[in-house]
Structure 1
Amino acid sequence: MTATEKLAAYIKAHPHAFGKVVDVDLLRDKLYPLDLTISNTDLTAELVSDTAAFSQYVDERLAANKCRYAVGGYMEHRTIYNRSELFGTEGEPRRLHLGVDIWGPAGTPVYAPIAGVVHSFADNNYFGDYGPTIILQHQLEGFTLYSLYGHLSRTSIEGLAVGDIIKKDQQIAALGNIDENGSWPPHLHFQLMLHIGDAKGDYPGVGYFSRKDEYAQNIPNPELVLNFANAIKA
Structure 2
Amino acid sequence: MKTFEQLIRGNQSLMQKVIDFDKANDKLLVLDFTASNAELTDEILNDTDLFSTWVNQKLEAVGARYGIGGYNEHRTIYSRSEHFNAAEEPRRLHLGVDIWAPALTPIYNFYDAKVHSFANNNNFGDYGATIILTYEIDGYKFNALYGHLSLASLDGLKEGNLIPGGTCFATLGVKGENGFWPPHLHFQLIQNMEGLKGDYPGVCKFSERAKYLANCPNPNLILNCSLT
Name the residue aligned to 2:156.
Answer: 159
- Percent of residue pairs bearing the same amino acid type: 51
| Structure 2 residue 62 is the aligned partner of structure 1 residue 65 | yes
Q: Could you tell me how far 1:228 is from its partner in structure 2?
A: 7.5
Q: Could you tell me how far 1:197 is from its partner in structure 2?
A: 1.6
Q: Could you tell me how far 1:90 is from its partner in structure 2?
A: 1.2
| Structure 2 residue 189 is the aligned partner of structure 1 residue 192 | yes
TM-score, structure 2 as length reference: 0.96
2:184 partner amino acid: H
TM-score, structure 1 as length reference: 0.93
Name the residue aligned to 2:210.
Answer: 213
Tell me which of 33, 42, 63 is aligned to 1:45: 42
Name the residue aligned to 1:117.
Answer: 114
Q: Could you say what the CA RMSD is over the residues aligned between the two structures, in angstroms?
A: 1.6
| Structure 2 residue 140 is the aligned partner of structure 1 residue 132 | no
CA distance in 2, matches of 1:132, 1:68: 23
Tell me which of 39, 51, 54 is aligned to 2:51: 54
CA distance in 2, matches of 1:117, 1:194: 15
Name the residue aligned to 1:169.
Answer: 166
Consecutive unaligned residues of structure 1, counting only runs of 5 or more, are none
* Cα shift readout 1:166-212 (whole Å, capped 9, x = no counterpart): 11111110000011110000000000011112111101000011121
Name the residue aligned to 2:201.
Answer: 204
The ranges of structure 1 where at least 4 consecutive aligned residues each deviate by more than 3 angstroms after the TM superposition are 228-231
Q: Could you tell me how far 1:91 is from its partner in structure 2?
A: 1.4
Q: Could you tell me how far 1:214 is from its partner in structure 2?
A: 1.4
CA distance in 2, matches of 1:185, 1:107: 12
Contact 1:18 1:114 in 2 (8 A): yes
> What count of residue pairs does the alignment treat as equivalent?
228
CA distance in 2, matches of 1:179, 1:89: 24
Contact 2:59 2:67 in 1 (8 A): yes
